[in-house]
């Protein structure tokens, strides 16, 4: 299985889990929680469909290729102060807004090499799908 095919299938478990349970903490297996009280986090996530944490000190514009911005109809200038977040450090709630404003554009990008790996993009950028995720978030 090629890495492109693996990336295309990476979102399926998230979507299936959301359909089944309605809300999910999607996180890296090494992530640990220090409390089971998530009521305030859940309320914030339910308001918009998602609650994510900044994972890097860098703005999204630092590593995202111009081709990805063009594909997603976004301007690099809008992302100079937008901190990068990772899809595997977020609380997702199954809402219409989440599916149509985040998941659909993100899946479309993941399926199209013009978005995920635009011409001229450096092959060393192994987290390109994370960059498109950050662009779709705004």
Task: Using a cut of 0.85, tell me whether the model's pTM lies above it.
Answer: no
Is residue 75 within 8 Å of 113, Cβ to Cβ?
Answer: no
| In the block, residue with structure tokens 């479309």 | 108
Q: Which helix (H) or strand (E) holds 53?
A: strand 50-59
Indicate whether 5 pLDDT > 50: no
**What is the mean pLDDT of the segment spanning 95-118?**
83
**Radius of gyration, alpha carbons of the chain:** 15
Mean pLDDT of the residues in the chain: 79
What are the start-end ranges of the H helices in 10-127?
Answer: 11-21, 39-48, 66-71, 96-98, 104-111, 113-116
11-64 tens-digit pLDDT: 778 888 899 999 998 887 777 878 888 888 889 999 888 888 887 788 888 888
72 backbone φψ class: left, alpha, beta (φ>0; ψ -120 to 50): alpha
Residue 25 CB contacts under 8 Å (≥ 6 apart), including other chains: 33, 38, 90, 91
Q: Which helix (H) or strand (E) holds 85?
A: strand 83-93
Query: Please, how many CA atoms are within 13 Å of residue 45, restricted to the half-sphere of its CB?
Result: 20
Q: How far apart are CA 39 and CA 22, in angstroms?
A: 15
Query: Which of 31-45, 76-90, 123-137 shows the lowest mean pLDDT across its residues?
Result: 123-137
């Amino acid at each position: 299985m090629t890495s492109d095919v693996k990336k295309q299938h990476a979102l399926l478990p998230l979507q299936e889990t959301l359909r089944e349970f309605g809300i999910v903490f999607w996180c890296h297996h090494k992530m640990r929680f220090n409390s089971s009280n998530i009521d305030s986090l859940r309320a914030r996530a339910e308001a918009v469909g998602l609650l994510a944490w900044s994972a890097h000190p860098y703005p999204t514009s630092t590593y995202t290729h111009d081709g990805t911005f063009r594909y997603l109809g976004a301007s690099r200038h809008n992302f100079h102060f937008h901190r990068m977040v990772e899809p595997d450090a977020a609380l997702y709630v199954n809402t219409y807004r989440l599916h149509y404003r985040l998941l659909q554009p993100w899946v479309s990008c993941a399926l199209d090499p013009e978005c995920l790996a635009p011409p001229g993009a450096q092959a060393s950028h192994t987290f390109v799908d994370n960059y498109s995720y950050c662009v779709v978030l705004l």
